[in-house]
Structure 1
Amino acid sequence: MQKRQSKHKGKSALAEKLCPVCQRAFSWRKKWQRDWQNVIYCSKRCAKNKITKEPKPCE
Structure 2
Amino acid sequence: MPLSDFHLGDPLFDEEKLQGYIKWIKDNKNAYTFINGDIFDVAIEGSKGSQYEATMNVKYIKEW
After TM superposition, the score normalised by the length of structure 1 is: 0.19
- Specify the structure having the higher radius of gyration (Cα): 1
- TM-score normalised by the chain length of structure 2: 0.18
